[in-house]
Structure 1
């Protein structure tokens, strides 16, 4: 499999699943445009990608929730010769319930990054994808369908991503653009660190997950990246509007009493 002469745009590319996806595409000689608000880590990933790919690597330091930064992204994308793949990987998590005094503030922040930014980037890249008959892969979550306590904003945002994926796939099929999403279960990344959990809270959470899911392990970021690459490749030209669950059997475990972590740590302000 090769992505030589293909251009891949990835948001949330500085860390976690986005970073691993960028590195995996780089190994397949893709030209990359990587986007993230985290300048230090994004430049590190850019350097690593440049050492792997025969294509070019462009970086855009941007906050997807700010209009000025979105315009900066638009200008950068216009400099690309073409765009074949968009991977919407930017996302944040955060505990929150309806009973929290600041739930609206939490909700707006999480939805603006997880859902609204996905729509914004799709709109930005769409003309180029229609021209190239390209594809979009969105990163959703099993939290879109698995109800977990203290996670209302995150779950709602990811449900929106999954539904948006299907709506976009239906609308864009006639233009030759495929749209799919991946719904990971437990993937050991820094997402809960960025949400404000302590190191101890993170360790407890991930250890609980690994112990209770049917396969007794968390999903590896490499597995997510490999699935993204497959969906973007010529091996998946008949797949659109699909939601691929990769969760070590966590969704299966919800049918078994006492199996599966159904809540997340609550931050005490």
Structure 2
């Protein structure tokens, strides 16, 4: 069954990791997908692997108002409408405390992770009113539980959670649902690069497996499946939900007992 047959998805951050898995899941479910990224090389590589008439790529930065307005207009011009806006684009660096984070770094994280949602909603809301569509935000488990050395990132994900609920109330009268997914650890290219550069990669894999009570750190497809459900009519009476896709990582107390973790490329484990 194609859950998104004849739907149009506006997906930010859709060329890598969880976003790429979502793009594939949405397309397989029958949707036309407009994929937005600010990374030219990533866009090119993704287009070489995943391209047909129902996929449209746009180079744009979600933190820039004019870029998002252009991307929304281009999507409507190409596909005629927008049914779903999935705000997946996000950055996690720097790996720092509040006091060690510069003002420029703080603003960058908020401008992408939170203001990006402001931009897509501001310029896409009329299209969603017309289609009675829905909005899906990519949050994180750390928006609820916190994480050391990621003050700015966790702050943005807490903001995303609160914003999701407020938007759900604001737009319910238009038949627009607003939800979010909150993963814990997920194997993405970035996480694999980080883990391979640790002193003992085997310990890192065990650590990432063990923080999830279900026993393993998943691939991005498990998040994509949850996103597909929330974006589809099967979730037609769900709004304001922050759905954990965490394997139970928020349950109980777990602490890494192996060798100390290292920062690599200004990144730590991103949950």
TM-score normalized by structure 1?
A: 0.87
Q: Which moved more, 1:86-95 or 1:34-43?
A: 34-43
Query: What's the counterpart of residue 214 of structure 1?
Result: 213
SS at match of 2:145: coil
SS at match of 1:33: strand
Q: Which moved more, 1:121-130 or 1:60-69?
A: 60-69
SS at match of 1:9: strand
| 43 and 238 in structure 1: CA distance in 2 versus 1, 3 angstrom threshold | same
Distance 2:13 2:49 in 1: 16
Distance 1:36 1:107 in 2: 21
Query: What's the counterpart of residue 81 of structure 1?
Result: 80
Could you tell me how far 1:108 is from its partner in structure 2? 1.1
Query: What's the counterpart of residue 46 of structure 2?
Result: 45
**Contact preservation (8 Å) 2:164, 2:240:** yes
Query: What's the counterpart of residue 172 of structure 1?
Result: 171
> Any gaps of 5 or more consecutive residues in structure 2?
267-271
Distance 2:109 2:137 in 1: 16
- What pairs with 1:23-62 in structure 2 (closer than 5 Å)? 23-50=24-51, 56-62=54-60
SS at match of 2:250: helix
Q: Which moved more, 1:81-90 or 1:103-112?
A: 103-112
Query: What's the counterpart of residue 156 of structure 1?
Result: 155
**Contact preservation (8 Å) 1:62, 1:73:** yes
| 267 and 43 in structure 1: CA distance in 2 versus 1, 3 angstrom threshold | closer
Q: Which moved more, 1:150-159 or 1:30-39?
A: 30-39
Query: What's the counterpart of residue 6 of structure 1?
Result: 7
Could you tell me how far 1:87 is from its partner in structure 2? 0.8
Query: What's the counterpart of residue 136 of structure 1?
Result: 135
Distance 2:37 2:154 in 1: 22
Could you tell me how far 1:9 is from its partner in structure 2? 0.9
SS at match of 2:251: helix
| 142 and 168 in structure 1: CA distance in 2 versus 1, 3 angstrom threshold | same
Query: What's the counterpart of residue 269 of structure 2?
Result: none
Could you tell me how far 1:239 is from its partner in structure 2? 0.3
> Any gaps of 5 or more consecutive residues in structure 1?
none
Query: What's the counterpart of residue 70 of structure 1?
Result: 68
**Contact preservation (8 Å) 1:84, 1:133:** yes
The RMSD of aligned alpha carbons is 2.6
| 208 and 58 in structure 1: CA distance in 2 versus 1, 3 angstrom threshold | same
| 123 and 91 in structure 1: CA distance in 2 versus 1, 3 angstrom threshold | same
Query: What's the counterpart of residue 230 of structure 1?
Result: 229
**Contact preservation (8 Å) 2:141, 2:182:** yes
Distance 1:120 1:260 in 2: 42
Distance 2:62 2:27 in 1: 23
Could you tell me how far 1:168 is from its partner in structure 2? 0.3
Query: What's the counterpart of residue 99 of structure 1?
Result: 99
Distance 2:181 2:38 in 1: 22
